[in-house]
Amino acid sequence: MNRREFITLLGAAAWPLAARAQQGKLPIVGFLGATGPAAMSLRVAAFVERLRELGWIENRTIAIEYRWAEGRNERSSEIAAEFARLKVDVIVATGTPTVAVLKQATAVIPIVFLQITDPVGSGFVASLARPGGNLTGLSLQSPDIAGKRLALLREVAPTLRRVAFMGNTDQAFVLREFEEVQASAATLGLEAAKSEIRRPQDVLPAFEALKDRAEALYLANEGLVDANRHRINVLALGARLPTMWTSRDPVEAGGLMSYGPSFADQWRRVGDFVDKILRGTKPADIPVEQPVKFELVVNLIVAKALGIDIPATLLSRADEVIE
């Protein structure tokens, strides 16, 4: 299929909901997960539950077509073409690389995104208040969140002086995250160094390079890091490095702690975006929302293995403590 045929196909996918309703067909949501179904099951459940509360019941008043990119950008392109053939009414997608592929594929089908660190800097929307175009959704941006994470690391490791930031800095949004970490570290009197990985094979050499260069590890909010969270946690434990993650899942998989937006809350709010679009509101007119609910998760099992005593004051603030 050449580009002209593909664009024609995408245009055909955006037929009005009214026409679909007249033909007795259910509105279709194309759901593109950046990883796989097992890793996203709880988040999908929160999304579907919110849709149900809004009157959209799966297989009765709405159809949801689930597809999984499994971390492969080429798979995202294939799925975009498939959604066009299915004539979906709106696409829900996660992660900056995945959404970038969809944005390049269609300027017609509404796209609701989430788990995006910087939607403006990534070129997805013109501004948070006025997105323009066919994309809107939820940003992970929050003032000084990097500083809050580093301060939490310092609470559990009071003598902390050097922290490593691990992620694929070939991704522009990851590089921006590192710059925020670096700036926040300077205000706290810490040194921040980059630990770059670009493929799974880079993880082990990255840890070997960190020997005697870091006393804690800050993990970027990106797909490569997330896909290798189990391995990273094992290596961090072996290197005696406390880890700071951006979400709960990697802590449940053996990380020390996380602080960031509640993904369960964000997935429920995605349901509100989809509801508005299916009822006729254009994505260009729906402001991008920022996080409102944050959660702190601490893994006491990992803390004990590292020989770290988590302060009672920190535990009292935690939303979840894994014991």
CA–CA dist 52, 65 (Å, integer)? 16
What mean pLDDT comes out for the span 210-216? 93
How does pLDDT run across 232-266, given as a tens digit for each residue? 999 999 999 999 999 888 999 999 999 999 988 99
How does pLDDT run across 43-54, given as a tens digit for each residue? 899 999 999 999
What pLDDT score does 63 carry?
97
Q: Strand, helix or coil at 92?
A: strand
Element holding 223 (H helix, E strand): helix 223-227
CA–CA dist 71, 85 (Å, integer)? 22
Q: Pairing state of beta strands 320-322 and 294-299? A: parallel
What pLDDT score does 8 carry?
41
Residue pair 198/170 in contact (Cβ under 8 Å)? The answer is yes
CA–CA dist 223, 208 (Å, integer)? 22
CA–CA dist 255, 298 (Å, integer)? 8
What pLDDT score does 2 carry?
47
Residue pair 310/303 in contact (Cβ under 8 Å)? The answer is yes
Statement: residue 146 has pLDDT above 70: yes
What mean pLDDT comes out for the span 221-228? 86
Statement: residue 6 has pLDDT above 80: no
Q: Of 105, 108, 100, 115, which Cα lies nearest the Cα of 80?
A: 105
Question: Model confidence at 5, in pLDDT bands (50, 70, 90)?
Answer: very low
Statement: residue 15 has pLDDT above 70: no
CATH class of 145-261+295-322: alpha beta
What pLDDT score does 24 carry?
58
What mean pLDDT comes out for the span 169-187? 91
What mean pLDDT comes out for the span 291-313? 96
Statement: residue 14 has pLDDT above 60: no
For the chain, where do the domains classified as CATH 3.40.50.2300 start and end? 3-140+263-293, 145-261+295-322
Domain topology for 3-140+263-293: Rossmann fold (3.40.50)
What pLDDT score does 143 carry?
67
What pLDDT score does 280 carry?
97
**Reported pTM:** 0.81
What pLDDT score does 18 carry?
40
End-to-end CA distance of the chain: 53
How does pLDDT run across 104-129, given as a tens digit for each residue? 989 999 999 998 988 998 999 999 99
CA–CA dist 170, 183 (Å, integer)? 19
